[in-house]
Structure 1
Amino acid sequence: MSFRPGSRIFSSFRPFFQRANARRRVNTAAGTEHTGFARFWNSSVGPKTVHFWAPVMKWGMVLAGASDFSRPAESLSFTQNLALMCTGAIWTRWCFVIRPKNIALAGVNALVFAVGATQVGRIYSYHKSLEGTEAQAKLEGKELEGDLKATA
């Protein structure tokens, strides 16, 4: 007998756990093979698991990001869309690492990345276009200032 009390407790209750596992194995016999919807319902990525509901809920992020395509780029948040882009990239990779591999969640995360990258591109190009406009406005301001001084 071991010195550790936890080990003694587990050893004394081991037969109860073995019987419970044996009962579970009996229910998964080859004769109870499911087909069609029942197979999907009982799968490791079916509607009974978080592996199914995570991509379903994440479609909200894709739709919210896609609805921002109609907004002007000046009203979009660069940090928010950069975070969406990074989140999509990181979780797409993670979906292939976890078990079971969740292809539906990887697809949704890839779309989150795509939406975020598109918005970041829009915001970046908008700010680049403003830089040229600001330089031109400063130049015109200096010309007007020189004209005012000349007339005064």
Structure 2
Amino acid sequence: MAPTSNILRAARPLFRQGAAGPSPFFNSQAQQMFRNQFRQQGKRWQSTASGEQQQSASWFKKAWESEVGIKTVHFWAPVMKWALVLAGISDLARPAEKLSFAQNFSLMCTGLIWTRWCFVITPKNMLLAAVNFFLALVGIAQITRITMHNMSKKDGDEAVVEAKAKA
């Protein structure tokens, strides 16, 4: 098989202007009309959105070059940690007897400890603080559900014991 450079070298004349003869689509008059359509008296055509594009480019540049920007672990770790928060929120639909107290307690403690730590470290990472805060909230909500379920279960057991004692 021939190297790629030889194939491209052989194809170069096909890509040169006029190699295949004059184009029926673009004669000199059509080319001039095309140029005049997009140029106005020698000035290039410019949209009104160029200022907005320039501002968005500067926003992206700031986000890219920031200490906690898009190209750092300080950005991607919190983004991936949102999966834990979403999993905890989806567990709100599960029955309380199927939830693990130890797991939800560890999520709550992790969220509380790391939320505090995000304000102490340098650079301050607000995205990480936010995800840990919500992780703590989800853990607190689940622990509350588990505790309330266990308390109602104990009350029900006591009522059964009292009913058996009376009978």
**Do these two structures clear the TM 0.5 threshold for a shared fold by scoring above it?**
yes
CA distance in 1, matches of 2:130, 2:59: 23
Secondary structure of the structure 2 residue equivalent to 1:45: coil
- Give structure 1 stretches of 5+ with no counterpart: 1-33, 145-152
Secondary structure of the structure 2 residue equivalent to 1:46: coil
Matches within 5 A, 1:69-80: 69-80=92-103
What count of residue pairs does the alignment treat as equivalent? 111
Tell me by how many angstroms 1:129 deviates.
Answer: 0.7
Code of the aligned partner of 1:141 = K
> Does residue 61 in structure 1 map to residue 62 in structure 2?
no
The equivalent residue for 1:50 is 73
Structure of higher CA gyration radius: 2
Secondary structure of the structure 2 residue equivalent to 1:35: helix
Tell me by how many angstroms 1:142 deviates.
Answer: 2.2
Code of the aligned partner of 2:133 = A
Secondary structure of the structure 1 residue equivalent to 2:83: helix
> Does residue 107 in structure 1 map to residue 130 in structure 2?
yes
CA distance in 1, matches of 2:143, 2:89: 13
CA distance in 2, matches of 1:93, 1:36: 28
* Aligned-pair identity (%): 53
> Does residue 131 in structure 1 map to residue 154 in structure 2?
yes
The equivalent residue for 1:96 is 119
CA distance in 1, matches of 2:162, 2:123: 61
Code of the aligned partner of 1:142 = A
Code of the aligned partner of 1:43 = S
Taking structure 2 as the reference length, the TM-score comes to 0.64
